A = this chain, B = another copy of it.
Amino acid sequence: MRERAVRAIALCRRIAELSEEPGRTTRRYLTVPTRDVHDLLRARMETLGMSVHVDAVGNLRGLWQPAHSIGKRLLIGSHIDTVPNAGAFDGVLGVTLALEWVAIAQQLNLPLDLEVIAFSEEEGVRFNVPYIGSRAVAGRFDPALLELKDKEGITVEAAIRDFGLDPARIYEAVLDDSTIGYIEPHIEQGPVLEAEGLQVAAVTVIVGQTRMSITFTGHANHAGTTPMNLRHDALTGASEFVIAVEDLARRSDGLLATVGKIENEPNVGNVVPGCSRVSLDVRHAFDTDRRAAVADLLAKAEAIASRRGLSVTSRQLSDQPAAPMDERLTAFLAEAIEAAGFPIKRMTSGAGHDAMVLAVRVPTAMLFVRSPGGISHHPSESVLVEDIEASLLVAQKFLQRLAAEVR
């Protein structure tokens, strides 16, 4: 497995060089380097004896059907688009590992059909909407998406045509009826496995997420002439809220709550701030807990504003429910982790993934691999070869178990 791990990592590193920008990895949906990635992956797929095509939304798909196929297909993969100035492993690793999963299945002579998918769009960078590739595969592609424009004014539809594809055939991208599940291997993108000294984990649920914008309004005043007791300082109100958000999340099991963005007006050193707007990002595996936390925080914002003579308004930007992974497939993954000789670790995913979209259509599971330093979306994103090897030992056990179940 060490050799397979080294090969999967090397392929990720090579793909990272296929970029829109010299010296940095940036690969948005259907931009020129996407084709180079397809060419590279297609060659590997064909070497493995797979039949390959690019569907109408730009996903590269390779199918392995063994001679003794029983007509049960497992979909394996992740995305190949990236954030700007990305690392080499987010998304791409799931695809290069999927190729090794195929090789393992072939070696074991398993009767499963295996479809490797390199989703074309997950990050939402080019068109500000994520999961374009997986929406099509899940049969949830809204044709209105075709009208979205990138910052050069190019629509999704034009981008698809420019890539030599036919947007009228996107409906054909939907997954095959024989598909019994989707597995997405992915780097954790966080520090939990490292902190616990673990290499791999089975994901139980992709947490739900609420995003809001909250605005505190007071009165801008001269910082030298306005006594403390006559101020209506919007920034002190917003600051108290930032602390309240952190405090609630620290006290609430499984709750993540973050103020990542603040905009302050007039934002001048000698003026008491008149308006401060903060973002709020709340995530939890249980939607009821998440919504209760949001309600609690909005009440706290009101209380802070009221006490300080400020007004407060809030706007919900998104409300994404939690996406539980399939219990049976996830149990198989956990058993495979144990069978491969590692401690069973189940964890939530705080980030969204293609698996979240696929999960509403087909039994879905995710296998996390440790992220050194918890670093992701950054050029220093990395993986350890022994962790990749561990994930492939798990893959072997999982595929054996699944084949035995469905045979």
Measured CA separation A195–B267 after assembly (Å): 26
Does A288 belong to the interface (CB within 8 Å)? no
Q: Evaluate contact between A191 and B224: CB separation under 8 angstroms.
A: no
Say how far A222's CB is from chain B's closest CB, in angstroms: 6
Proximity bits, A229-265, B CB within 8 Å = 1, else 0: 1100101101110110010011000011111111010
Does A279 belong to the interface (CB within 8 Å)? yes
Q: Evaluate contact between A242 and B246: CB separation under 8 angstroms.
A: no
- Choose the segment among A18-26, A105-113, A269-277 that binds chain B (4+ C-beta atoms closer than 8 Å): A269-277
* Contact partners of A281 in chain B: CB under 8 A: 223-224, 269-270
Q: Evaluate contact between A243 and B246: CB separation under 8 angstroms.
A: no
Give the residue name and chain of the B residue nearest to A249 (CB): B228
Does A88 belong to the interface (CB within 8 Å)? no
Does A221 belong to the interface (CB within 8 Å)? yes
Q: Evaluate contact between A224 and B351: CB separation under 8 angstroms.
A: yes
Measured CA separation A269–B189 after assembly (Å): 17
Picked from B258, B259, B267, B350, the residue with its CB within 8 Å of the CB of A261 is B267
Q: Evaluate contact between B239 and A243: CB separation under 8 angstroms.
A: yes
The count of chain A contact residues (Cβ–Cβ below 8 Å) is: 59
Known A195-B230, A230-B374; contact A272-B260, beta-carbon cutoff 8 A:
yes
Give the residue name and chain of the B residue nearest to A192 (CB): B227
* Contact partners of A246 in chain B: CB under 8 A: 228, 233, 236
Q: Evaluate contact between A225 and B270: CB separation under 8 angstroms.
A: no
Picked from B211, B221, B374, the residue with its CB within 8 Å of the CB of A226 is B374
Measured CA separation A317–B283 after assembly (Å): 40
Residue among A207, A223, A236, A317 with max Cβ neighbours from chain B (10 Å): A223
Known A236-B246, A240-B243, A374-B230; contact A224-B261, beta-carbon cutoff 8 A:
no
Picked from B195, B262, B283, the residue with its CB within 8 Å of the CB of A224 is B283
* Contact partners of A273 in chain B: CB under 8 A: 259-260
Q: List 5 A-B contacts (CB under 8 A).
A: A190-B224, A191-B227, A211-B270, A224-B281, A261-B264
Interface residues of A, Cβ cutoff 8 Å to B = 188-192, 195, 207, 209, 211, 221-230, 233, 235-236, 238-240, 242-243, 246, 249-250, 255-262, 264, 266-273, 279-281, 283, 317, 349-352, 374, 376-377
